[in-house]
């Protein structure tokens, strides 16, 4: 562990075209020393980023140069697709001994969770360390979207009845197998979680102290079946770096670290973002064509069906349109505004529900608030279009129709957008499905209906 | 710090209507003991959540019961609006001595950054601890969206030339003022960052060792002017809990902790989510009406202008519509599909750019990939609408027009949606502005144009 002084100002690595071209050139020319020098100081996450850009033979060239621990870290950092491709090219006993044996139990369980059952059994039968194998099997039982699915079993725990001297001896013993320790957990004789011992307190404590007396009993924990979204909210709310996980009677089963939860937060945010954009299933920017198609087509079909319904609505007013074809001019404007307003209202509610910022008082007063916003926006917008049409268009009936229906449509769309996600949430349906194409389509049809009906009325009057 | 055994199974607090009603009742009845018992075991974040639901007098009733450190923690956890309201009701010298003095420098700087310059000066002049005051003044100089704006100055650092014994003595001294230590930073005589010392290694090390020999020199750091988005990406990529911040010549200036970065990640995700939904400026679900209006109206105006332009496009085809009013039926369908496809394509690009997952090869091949998806989706959708219209509609010209233009519009919209954010990104404009209403409006107009043009052609032929 001698200090490598020339690295003292190391910042993070950024993958460039030039670097990659040089690397590939060296790999193709079989220049092992050059390749090794290019990658030897890189973090596993950087090597994973490079793997993404290489073909399987080039990736294997690099993989053969890595020690087992680094190779395992790289596998953890790969994108799911790349990992599957990569692991398919490697014999199961190597996967077990080189990768799984060198991973934290939670990472190992995550990766095995992506593979077929037979392959998992085969791999586990090849794991050298029995303790690791049984920890992984335990973890695989939990739903991946719960605290049990997120947690790892690598932790340091001490008995509350120990003396500080025994405690430190024990910590040293347990710590050898663990990457990093931030907290030491304190349990009683039945392995029930009783508190935490921060390393700071351990350093500052008088060596005559007992564990019980220097531990902090104010420990927040979650159960193995706590949903991961709730885990993320708890860790975020209380600014926690690790969170202990207990079983129904309070026995310590594992710990969740913040880096896993950051991934949950990112994934949740991405899921909501994709839903509002009309994309289901988690898909990366350039997944394969079929996967992308599958993620998008259902939403486009909702739009198509909405369009067909819209066509029937307009169809009922065919004679009206034959007489006043100028009414068709503003169909896109009304539909677009209905869609935009609906998405604005629904997405802010969905976001508020997702990050728990709506608070207790989610009904009456707040719907009124939203209605107030819609009224102001609606009045401004319909005023603007009134002035424009008044000077540009010949038909006063059209001018009145567009303004009155725009105001009505903004009010309706905002009510639908607010109410529908709140209602879905009350009935335990993920409110995020009500954003994007769904709310847009619904509001489009509503908008057309309102516009054409008001048009018929107004052309009768003016 | 005696163990409070009755709390050993504490899970996180959830605010209920019943709890809140009881609390408010007790506050209004001036029952200090009851109120104290209700709040005494709560975490600062929970009390902040309760504050959100109270009026200023009720909040003050609770605040007077808290010790200074807890009161300061509660202020940190409040929503920005509530905090401003709350701090306005408290004299500046109390703000300085009760709150700012008891906060980490980064939290103090964040909160002062929200106040007016005069108020900040006044508060700082009342801070008792000179070191804290100057640390805060230093931090206030940095842009809040950079590593300097995120970092705190509370850290433990040791000299690489020290012996382990001196080192531990020094750590004990420095640690007293710091909430939690995860890493100890190692610097040279010029305060240049040379490495880290994990507490694990400190516990495991032989007491005869020198700091230099047990420290890890592979330390990733950022500069004070590194943008916070990049900080978040680095911490996420390398799974870091803390990240040291250095000045241009490598001197250690502070450290960023993961909880601050989780907030950055959430805010970035919320910003992008709001942009795709047509909302600017960070607004919470139920902000005041004017703020919400201001965040939404500009996007609605884009939609309005787009609608007006759309009206002119259709206006050019007035005679056509008078002859064939049924052409108007499918205007909303074409516009909606153009909008949906455009948002799908653009949002996946924006997301990929935001989380750096697009990789190096962002042009040619990937545009082709997107075009492939559009072609498949377009063929399926236009096939479906062809079959529907063929059996339902009398006009074959209309049937052909809708199908051909739907396919063209899907292809065009997907190209625009892919290309525009990539182009904006190349010109250093935040590509997220090109999602939502902007891309929808653009594609709406394009869709109308294509539809009506193809319609004129087809009605000429069939």
Where does the pLDDT of residue B362 fall: very low under 50, low under 70, confident under 90, or very high at 90 and above?
Answer: low
The pLDDT tens digits for B94-103 are 888 888 888 8
- pLDDT at position A11, please? 58
B40-66 per-position pLDDT tens digit: 888 888 898 888 888 888 888 998 888
Structure-token pair, residue A397: 């009936």
CATH code of the domain made up of A157-257 = 3.10.580.10
Q: Give the gap in angstroms from C-alpha A125 to the nearest C-alpha of chain B.
A: 30
Chain A CA closest to residue B406: A304
User: Looking at residue B284, what is its pLDDT?
Assistant: 61
B106 contacts on A by Cβ (under 8 Å): none
pLDDT digits (tens, 9 = 90+) for A411-435: 999 998 888 888 888 888 878 777 7
At residue B4 the predicted structure's pLDDT band, cuts being 50, 70 and 90, is very low
Half-sphere exposure of A93 (CA within 13 A, CB side): 0
Give how far Cα A312 sits from Cα of A154, A455, B322, Å: 62, 17, 18
Range scoring the smallest mean pLDDT among A125-134, A376-385, B19-28, B186-195 = A125-134
* Angle value at C-alpha B358, between B352 and B360, nearest 5 degrees: 155
pTM here is 0.77
Residue A188 confidence (pLDDT): 93
Low-confidence ranges of chain A (pLDDT < 70): 1-12, 179, 281-287, 355-366
Helix residue ranges per DSSP H, A176-288: 199-204, 211-214, 228-237, 258-276
pLDDT at A292: 80
- pLDDT at residue B403, as a whole number: 95
* Residue partners of A64: CB distance under 8 A and separation at least 6: none
pLDDT of residue A287: 63
What percent of chain B shows pLDDT beyond 90?
28
> How confident is the model at residue A6, as a pLDDT?
36
CB A451 within 8 A of CB A321: no
Query: Is the CB of B352 less than 8 angstroms away from the CB of A286?
Result: yes
What is the CATH class of A289-461?
mainly alpha
The residue that leads in pLDDT, B407 or A172, is B407
Between residues A337 and B5, the one the model is more confident about = A337
What's the pLDDT score for residue B5? Answer: 35
Reply yes or no on whether the pLDDT at B190 is more than 90: yes
In total, the C-beta contacts within 8 angstroms joining chain A to chain B are 436
Q: Find the residue in A nearest to B441 (Cα).
A: A336
- CA distance linking residue A296 with residue A442, whole number of Å: 18
Per-residue pLDDT, A9: 41
pLDDT number for residue B364: 64
For position B400, what pLDDT does the model report?
Answer: 94
User: Count of residues for chain A?
Assistant: 462
Q: Is the pLDDT of residue B207 over 80?
A: no
The CB-side HSE value for B66 (13 A sphere, CA atoms) comes to 23
pLDDT range class, residue B283, cuts 50, 70, 90: low
For B21, name the nearest residue in chain A, comparing CA atoms only.
A360
Q: What is the pLDDT of residue A403?
A: 95
pLDDT, position B281: 62
Q: In this complex, which of A202, A215, A278 lies closest to B340 when CB atoms are compared?
A: A278
Least confident of A261-275, B109-123, B273-287, B415-429: B273-287
DSSP type of residue A95: I
Contact A212 B3 (CB under 8 A): yes
Contacts of A363 in chain B (CB under 8 A): none
Backbone φ/ψ region at A281: left (φ over 0), alpha (ψ -120 to 50), beta? left
- Per-residue pLDDT, A2: 34
The shortest C-alpha distance from B86 to chain A (Å) reads: 18
Write out the two tokens for B447. 């869709």
In this prediction, residue B6 has a pLDDT band, given cuts at 50, 70 and 90, of: very low
Q: Which residues in A lie closer than 8 A to residue B79 (C-beta atoms)?
A: 357
Q: What is the pLDDT of residue A363?
A: 58
Domain B157-271 has CATH 3.10.580.10: yes
pLDDT at A159: 93
> For residue B250, which residues of chain A lie inside 8 Å, CB to CB?
8-9
Closest CA–CA distance from residue B34 to any residue of chain A (Å): 21
The residues, ordered by sequence, that sit 6+ positions from A428 with a Cβ below 8 Å of its Cβ are: none
Cβ within 8 Å, pair A340-B160 = no
- Where in chain B are the domains? 16-146, 157-271, 289-461
**CA-CA-CA-CA torsion for A8, A13, A18, A20, nearest 10 degrees?**
120
Q: Between 3.40.50.300, 1.25.60.10, 1.10.8.60, 3.90.1150.10, what CATH number should domain A16-150 receive?
A: 1.25.60.10
Confidence at residue A8, expressed as pLDDT on a 0 to 100 scale: 38
Give the pLDDT of residue A175: 78
* CATH number among 3.30.70.2080, 1.10.10.10, 3.40.50.10800, 1.25.60.10, domain B16-146: 1.25.60.10
């Amino acid at each position: 562990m001698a200090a490598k002084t020339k690295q003292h100002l190391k910042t993070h690595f950024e993958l460039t075209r030039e670097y990659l071209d040089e690397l590939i050139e060296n790999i193709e020319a079989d220049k092992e020393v050059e390749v090794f020098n290019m990658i030897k100081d890189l973090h596993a996450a950087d090597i994973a980023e490079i793997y993404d850009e290489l073909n399987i033979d080039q990736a294997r060239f690099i993989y053969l140069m890595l020690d087992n621990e680094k190779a395992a870290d790289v596998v953890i950092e790969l994108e799911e697709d790349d990992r599957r491709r990569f692991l398919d090219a490697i014999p199961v006993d190597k996967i077990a001994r080189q990768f799984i044996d060198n991973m934290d139990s939670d990472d190992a369980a995550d990766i095995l969770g992506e593979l077929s059952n037979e392959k998992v059994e085969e791999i586990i039968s090849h794991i050298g360390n029995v303790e690791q194998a049984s920890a992984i099997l335990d973890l695989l039982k939990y739903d991946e979207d719960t605290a049990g699915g997120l947690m790892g079993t690598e932790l340091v725990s001490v008995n509350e009845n120990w003396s500080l001297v025994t405690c430190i001896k024990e910590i040293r013993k347990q710590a050898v197998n663990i990457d990093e320790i931030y907290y030491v957990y304190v349990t009683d004789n039945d392995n029930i979680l009783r508190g935490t011992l921060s390393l700071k307190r351990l350093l500052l404590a008088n060596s005559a102290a007992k564990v019980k007396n220097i531990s902090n009993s104010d420990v927040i924990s979650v159960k193995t079946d706590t949903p991961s979204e709730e885990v993320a909210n708890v860790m975020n709310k209380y600014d926690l770096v690790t969170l202990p996980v207990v079983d129904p009677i309070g026995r310590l089963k594992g710990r969740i670290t913040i880096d896993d939860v950051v991934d949950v937060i990112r994934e949740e945010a991405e899921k909501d973002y994709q839903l509002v954009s009309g994309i289901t299933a988690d898909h990366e920017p350039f997944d394969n064509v079929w996967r992308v198609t599958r993620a998008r087509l259902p939403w486009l079909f909702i739009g198509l069906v909405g369009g067909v319904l819209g066509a029937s609505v307009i169809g009922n007013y065919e004679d009206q349109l034959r007489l006043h074809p100028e009414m068709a001019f503003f169909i896109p404007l009304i539909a677009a505004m209905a869609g935009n307003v609906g998405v604005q209202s629904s997405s802010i509610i969905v976001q508020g529900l997702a990050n728990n910022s709506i608070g207790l008082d989610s009904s009456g007063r707040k719907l009124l608030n939203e209605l107030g916003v819609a009224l102001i926006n609606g009045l401004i917008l319909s005023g603007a279009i009134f002035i424009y049409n008044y000077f540009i268009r010949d038909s006063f009936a059209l001018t009145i129709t567009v303004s009155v229906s725009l105001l009505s449509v903004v009010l309706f769309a905002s009510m639908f957008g607010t109410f529908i996600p709140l209602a879905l949430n009350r009935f335990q349906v993920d409110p995020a499905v009500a954003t994007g194409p769904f709310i847009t389509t619904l509001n489009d049809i509503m908008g057309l209906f309102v516009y054409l009906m008001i048009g018929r009325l107004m052309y009768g009057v003016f």
